[in-house]
Every structure is written in C-alpha cells, then in structure tokens.
Amino acid sequence: MKANFYIESEHFCLAFDKYVIEEINGKKYVLPEKGAKSHNSTFSNWIDRYLIDILNIGKKVYYQEKVEDIEILDYVQSYGLFGFMADFPVNRYYILDDVVALRDYNLIEYEDHITNIQLEEYLKLFMPKLDNNKIKLLIQKCRKEISPKIMEKYLTPELNELLIFSKNYGEPVDMILQYSKILYEHLIHFAEKRHLRSYSPLIAVNNLHTNIDTLHNNEIGLIYGYLKQAIDLNFLVNLSQDTVMLKTCKFCHKAFIPKNSKAEYDTPQCKNKANVYSFRKRAQEE
C-alpha cells in the first residue's frame, strides 16, 4: 500500500534566540538565557538540516569524540530544544495526572518497559530552577487551561507553550547526547542490515497529530508539535524511501543526504582523501 501524506509543523513550535548551558543540581542543562525572546520555529525552513546536524553530533558521541558546549548551543539556537518532556509520557495529557507513565528507554530510566514517575518530580527534571511551590502553581495553571471547553486540537499547543516552550524549560545535555547517539547508531545499523535494531521504541514517533481535513486531496497531514517528533518522523521517512538517500560518508562517517544516490562521500575533500589513502595502501602492498 502506498499512501500520500505531508509533514508540517504545528503553529506553536517555539524557540528562543539565546540559550546557555548551566550546571544545576550537579547536572548540565541547556536552557533559554535569562531575558531571551521566543519566536516561532518551523523546521521546514531547514529541510533536512535539523536531522543531519543532530546525527552528526551523535556520530561524535558514538566515536567518543568530544562534543563542545558550543555545538549543542549552536544546534538549539537554530532549532530550539527537543521537547523530551512532552515525548516520553505514554499518557499524552500527563499534566492532568498525578503520575506520569514513561515510554520504554525514555533516557531517564533506560528500562525496556513503562516506568512511572510522580508528576512534580518529572516536571522538576526539566524545570530545574522552579521550586516546589512554583511547580505546584504551574500544574494548577495548566489544569485551569484545560478545564474550560477547549477543542482538543488547541489543547496540546496551549499546554506546550506553558511546558516545553516556556522560559523555565531546559534539557540535560547528557540526554541530548544520548538521543543523538541512539539516532546515529540506528543509521549505521540500518546502512549495514537494511532494517532497524530489533526494538527501537524511542525513535518511534510519539503523540503525533494527523490532519484529516485534507483527505479530499487523497492525502493526510502528519503534524508535529516539537523538534524530537519532527526528527523521528523525518528520520523514519528517510529510511522508508525506495532508494534510501540518508547515509554515512565512507571516509569521515558523517551523516549526509547526497543529490546522487550513488555518492559515497559527503564532500569532495573526503573523496580525495579516501583516494589518497587507498592509493598509499596499494603502493605499500606492492
């Protein structure tokens, strides 16, 4: 079965113009800088860049090369934070529940089964600067937003604005690195075996909205509401093409999407270097 669909962003994806990396409670976090301004972020302007760039951070983690803070900051300044807090819960409207049930391998517990965490504790993991009182107030505010009659399609964007797109929301650097590494590992595994690793729930797209109003054109819309969703979706769509264009350079191992499906190197420089190495190797063998 072949189907037509298109991918677009929710109208409410926000990013800030400046982020910092700070150590809080012994953990390194990326957060919006104090006084930073938020703006709409539609990743579609960058086509596949947000996917390639995170894969190449993952490539460094995978090969145990050092990832500098500035590389993380450059990434989030371009595309915003990932939205892990909205992505991990199995209960999509977790803010309504006292306990958050987290999907498998959620980068907090790394268990291959659903794990539970108290809501307050969960929010504090991603809003490390808020004290207990402020967390309580935030929960009350979110629940109040929900209580009047609101169409469900507006609910997630409204809640996201108070949660993953708020100025208090941050993500642990280590979590970003782990996620990027997992994506890259999947890519090289796929390149070798033509299938994903046997159990890959973390990169399955979670909580996706669909637009069926456009079905009269024989197509449905897949609407992502935060960056991780967009990355996961784009990644899987790239791997499900008849000809998979997303690949890694045979010389430097970076991820890239060439124009020509036969290309093996991401840059002419890598191609030249690979030729020089193979020439030397042959010369040595003779």
For residue 270, state whether it binds Zn ion (rule: CB under 5 A): yes
> Count of CB atoms within 10 A of residue 149's CB?
5
Q: In this chain, which stretch among 39-47, 55-63, 173-181, 265-273 interacts with Zn ion, using CB under 5 A?
A: 265-273
The answer to whether 222 contacts Zn ion (rule: CB under 5 A) is no
Smallest distance from the beta carbon of 241 to Zn ion, in angstroms? 21
139/252 with CB nearer Zn ion: 252
Q: According to the 3-state scheme, what is the secondary structure of 106-148?
A: CCCCCCCCCEEEEHHHHHHHHCCCCCHHHHHHHHHHHHHHHCC
Mark 4-43 with x for binding to Zn ion (rule: CB under 5 A) and - for no binding.
----------------------------------------
Which 241-260 positions form the footprint of Zn ion (CB under 5 A)?
249, 251-252
**Of 11-19, 56-64, 173-181, 269-277: span binding Zn ion (CB under 5 A):** 269-277
Taking the least distance from each CB to Zn ion, the nearer of 103 and 254 is 254
Q: Least distance to Zn ion from the beta carbon of 248, Å?
A: 8
Q: What 3-state DSSP class applies to 252? A: coil
Looking at 97-105, 155-163, 214-222, 267-275, which segment touches Zn ion (CB under 5 A)?
267-275
Q: Which H or E element spans position 9?
A: strand 5-9
Q: Specify whether the CB–CB gap between 209 and 153 falls below 8 A.
A: yes
Q: Which is nearer to Zn ion, 28 or 254 (CB)?
A: 254
SS3 17: coil
CB 233 within 8 A of CB 218: no
Asked whether position 266 contacts Zn ion by CB under 5 A, the answer is: yes
Q: Nearest 5°: CA angle at 278, between 275 and 284?
A: 140
Q: Which is nearer to Zn ion, 31 or 57 (CB)?
A: 57
Q: Are 122 and 137 in contact (CB under 8 A)?
A: no
Q: Residue 1 CB, nearest distance to Zn ion (Å)?
A: 37
Binding mask 156-195 for Zn ion (x = CB under 5 A): ----------------------------------------
Positions 100 through 129 that interact with Zn ion (CB under 5 A): none
CB of 262 to Zn ion, least distance (A): 15
Question: How many of the chain's residues bind Zn ion (CB under 5 A)?
Answer: 5
Q: Quick check: 61 binds Zn ion (CB under 5 A)?
A: no
User: In whole angstroms, what is the distance from residue 178 CA to residue 258 CA?
Assistant: 26
Shortest CB 148 distance to Zn ion, Å: 54
The alpha carbon dihedral of 115, 97, 81, 129 has a sign of negative
List Cβ neighbours of 152 (8 Å cut-off, separation of 6 or more). none
Listed in sequence order, the residues at least 6 apart from 74 whose beta carbon sits closer than 8 Å to its beta carbon are none
Find, among 48, 45, 44, 41, the residue nearest to 77 by Cα.
41
Q: Which of 92, 54, 63 is nearest to 205 (CA)?
A: 92
Q: Which residues bind Zn ion (CB under 5 A)?
A: 249, 251-252, 266, 270
